[in-house]
Structure 1
Amino acid sequence: MRTSSWILSGVVVLLVAASAVVRLMIYPAVHQLPSDTDSVFEYTGTASTLNAAALETGDLANALLTDVPVTLDRHVRVIDTDGGTAVISDEVVMTGPNDTQLSATSHRWSVDRTDLEDRPAPQDSGAELHQGLVISWPLEPEERDYTFWDPTTATEAPAVYDRTEDVEGREAYVYTIDAAGPLGDPSIIENLPTSLPRDVLAGLAETLPAEQRPDPAGLAQLPETVPLTYAATTQRVAWIDSGTGAVLNGSLQQTIVAQTEGPGGPVTLAPVSSMSVEGTPEGIAERADDADSNGRALWLVGFLLPVGLLVLAVLLAAFVIWREIRTRRGAGAGREPAAAV
């Protein structure tokens, strides 16, 4: 074999190795939650909530703000990584008219950077314990049910695959999540009263629709200062990009009710907070564009580049073999037959 053929054979080996490196090392490195992830998801809708200022002054007629327009911003960012684990800051702020802040929650989660499931929290990270998904879906989602963590009730709930839809030209898997239980989010609990006077609760009850009012006889039997606990229900719908796992759209309905302990268990007194929000058209379009760009980049690194390098290696190897065969045939044809003795 000539020197040039040895050199070309070496190039073939390098191309095959490069294809393997791209697919087995570079692709997994980029196909994970980036360490610089910093995203804000905006939702709009309406909310009803206790008016703390009105409660303090005894203005029961305005103690419950009803169906006010709100904007909910969810800020998700990676604050630390440890190999395949990411520590996530998850902050949600709801604002009402005149940019008045109505509520705010803040959490930290430790998740796997590929499947987004819970992972043991790195030391001193401050991440909370949870089970299942909490901020998004795996980077390669499937048409099946998942376990989702509901921060409001601090419980896990099934994320049920419901259907597949088109969202801004992207294929999206649609999941529904329903959760209910005692209120478990400390960020919300600390902003709600631990007790209220009985006459305040009675006044609140009068502002509610008839079907939501507690039994007047039951209210009358409560102590003058009523100790309160809270329960919550949430209904979520998530539209997840089938190619990247990105959240394209979402909706949330949440209700928190005040309770007190009765002879037979918790007695529901009145809703103290409810909201219904969904993604904005501008935000949906932006996330779909991002998913489209990310999907093309992943296809380039995960398929086109390694396959292209492998095809180039095969073509070059075929050329080396063809040239060697041709050279040897030419050499054999050029030899003179040996003379007979």
Structure 2
Amino acid sequence: MRKVIAGVLLGLGSFLLVAALTVVLWGGTAVQKTPLDTDTLTNLSGTADKLNPATSEVESLQVKAASVTKADAELSSDDVVVFVSTTCLVIDDGDTPQCVDESDDRLVSASSDVFATNRNTAQAVNDPKYVPPSSEEKSGLVNKWPFDAQKKDYTYWDGMLGEAVDATYDGTETIEGLETYKYHVLIEDQPAEVVDGIEGVYSQDKYLWIDPTTGSIINQTQHEVRELEDGSTLLDMQLAFTDEQVEKNVAEAKDNGQLLGLLTTTLPLVGFIGGAIALLAGGFLMLRGRRDKTA
């Protein structure tokens, strides 16, 4: 009986050690991937000084934006995720829906996009296998940071300029108990197509707070300015995630971070410790049995 128990313990110990080693060497990368069932709605609100084309007057308005980002599992793969994203910016009169029709005067802008990113590094992917030829070629990070984000500068996609710009690391900040990394994107007086077919000057001062474990964006503030070449204002907007959106992002980041921690840290630790104990116990019983037999 002792021999049977020793054999079971030796087998269990070996299994636990091999499983823990497998998770350490391979499992982390396997689980640190953007889910293919991603379907998020991000809400922002703020103010904007906007040129009214009908009156040629700049009006001060309350605005809100909604961005829907959904993964296309059929077009995605084990390494790449394809996203369909729509964004709508509207004048908030207190009863404005998430988005309105083009004929509605409350519509400021609406856009849609298809893009692909690496599921682990979050870097843009431009392979025609994933994105249609009509999609704009992108570079850098697009809609999130990589898993295990670092305290360093990254390049972050800016749709107005059509290129990736520097996102400079700007320290850490705790939001509702979650430690985040803060990054700063600063674009000053760059020539750009500020309205379809109209060239002008574009500036952007944006801060992003990132959960380093999952790479998700927890909060975002931006001050965007679009001017005509003569310096007259088309849009001067300050926009940020709503308080409710930030609370939701924090809760999801904590849940996802705990799950990743369980899979990448707790389970390997249990495997190594439990496996070592089982091997020692099995070896002890096996050796004890041999000694008893010899005696």
Instruction: State the partner residue of 1:232.
Output: 202
What per-residue deviation string (whole Å, max 9, x for no partner) do you get for residues 307-339 of structure 1?
212222111111111112211222222xxxxxx
How far is 1:145 from its partner? 0.8
2:255 pairs with 1:293: yes
Name the aligned partner's letter for residue 180 of structure 2: A
Match of 2:223 among 241, 245, 253: 253
Q: Percent identity?
A: 24
Question: Which is worse superposed, 93-102 or 168-177?
Answer: 93-102
2:192 pairs with 1:183: yes
Instruction: State the partner residue of 2:113.
Output: 107
Contact 2:10 2:283 in 1 (8 A): no
How far is 1:120 from its partner? 3.1
Map 1:185-200 to 2 at 5 A. 189-190=195-196, 194=197
Instruction: State the partner residue of 1:135.
Output: 143
What per-residue deviation string (whole Å, max 9, x for no partner) do you get for residues 8-54 of structure 1?
333332222332344444443321111111112211111122334x2
Instruction: State the partner residue of 2:38.
Output: 37
What per-residue deviation string (whole Å, max 9, x for no partner) do you get for residues 226-275 of structure 1?
xx52231111100111222211110111111122xxxxxxxx24111221
Map 1:143-222 to 2 at 5 A. 143-180=151-188, 181-184=190-193, 189-190=195-196, 194=197
Instruction: State the partner residue of 1:57.
Output: none
How far is 1:295 from its partner? 0.7
Distance 2:14 2:170 in 1: 48
Contact 1:82 1:122 in 2 (8 A): no
Match of 1:84 among 79, 87, 92: 79
Once superposed, which parts of structure 1, at least 4 consecutive aligned residues long, lie more than 3 Å away?
1-8, 20-27
CA change 1:105–1:182 in 2 (3 A) is farther
Name the aligned partner's letter for residue 278 of structure 1: A
List runs of 5+ in structure 1 lacking aligned partners.
55-59, 195-227, 260-267, 334-341
Contact 2:3 2:285 in 1 (8 A): no
Contact 1:154 1:183 in 2 (8 A): no
Name the aligned partner's letter for residue 70 of structure 2: R
Contact 1:94 1:103 in 2 (8 A): yes
Name the aligned partner's letter for residue 183 of structure 2: Y
List runs of 5+ in structure 2 lacking aligned partners.
97-105
RMSD: 2.1
Name the aligned partner's letter for residue 247 of structure 1: I
Distance 2:265 2:52 in 1: 56
What per-residue deviation string (whole Å, max 9, x for no partner) do you get for residues 181-235 of structure 1?
2325xxx733xxx5xxxxxxxxxxxxxxxxxxxxxxxxxxxxxxxxx52231111
- Aligned pairs, how many? 278
What per-residue deviation string (whole Å, max 9, x for no partner) do you get for residues 274-308 of structure 1?
21111111111111111110110001011111221
Name the aligned partner's letter for residue 17 of structure 1: V
CA change 1:182–1:90 in 2 (3 A) is farther
Name the aligned partner's letter for residue 278 of structure 2: L
Contact 1:76 1:90 in 2 (8 A): yes
Distance 2:78 2:286 in 1: 48
Name the aligned partner's letter for residue 248 of structure 1: I
TM-score scaled by length of structure 1: 0.75
Contact 2:14 2:279 in 1 (8 A): no
Instruction: State the partner residue of 2:99.
Output: none
Distance 2:192 2:87 in 1: 17
Name the aligned partner's letter for residue 46 of structure 1: T
How far is 1:113 from its partner? 1.0
2:268 pairs with 1:317: no
How far is 1:124 from its partner? 5.9
SS of the aligned residue for 2:125 comes to: coil
TM-score scaled by length of structure 2: 0.86
